[in-house]
């Protein structure tokens, strides 16, 4: 978790970015995203705001 940041969806439309949103650094295994052609240890890390995430189950 990186911390709380102004909401970019609001900022992009001239808003004040409030309330602040929590920003996470989320790592995915490349093999899970793209399949077995990827090197086994490789990862892609994406900055994702909390309200863009859904519970996994």
Partner 1 sequence: MSDVASDAHGHDHPKHELSYYAKRIYAIRDLLLEKGVITDKDIQRQIEYQEARSPANGAKLVARAWVDPAFKTRLIDDPKGACAEMDIDATSINEFVVLENTEKVRHMVVCTLCSCYPRPILGRPPDWYKSLNYRQRAVNDPRGVMREFGLVPSDDVEVRVHDSTADMRYLVLPLRPEGTEGLGEEELAKLVTRDSMIGVTDALPAATLK
Q: Which residues bind partner 1 (CB under 8 A)?
A: 2-3, 5, 8, 23, 25, 27, 30, 33-34, 39-49
45 or 54: whose CB is closer to partner 1?
45
Q: List strand residue ranges (DSSP E) for 1-57, in order.
A: 3-5, 21-29, 43-49
Residues 6+ apart with CB under 8 A from 22: 1, 3, 4, 5, 49, 50
35 or 57: whose CB is closer to partner 1?
35
- To the nearest whole angstrom, how small is the minimum distance from the Cβ of residue 36 to partner 1? 13
């Amino acid at each position: 978790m990186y911390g709380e940041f102004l909401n970019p969806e609001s900022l992009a439309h001239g808003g004040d970015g409030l309330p602040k949103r929590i920003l996470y650094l989320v790592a995915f295994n490349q093999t899970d995203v793209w399949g077995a052609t990827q090197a086994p240890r490789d990862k892609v890390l994406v900055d994702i705001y909390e309200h863009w995430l859904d519970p996994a189950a």
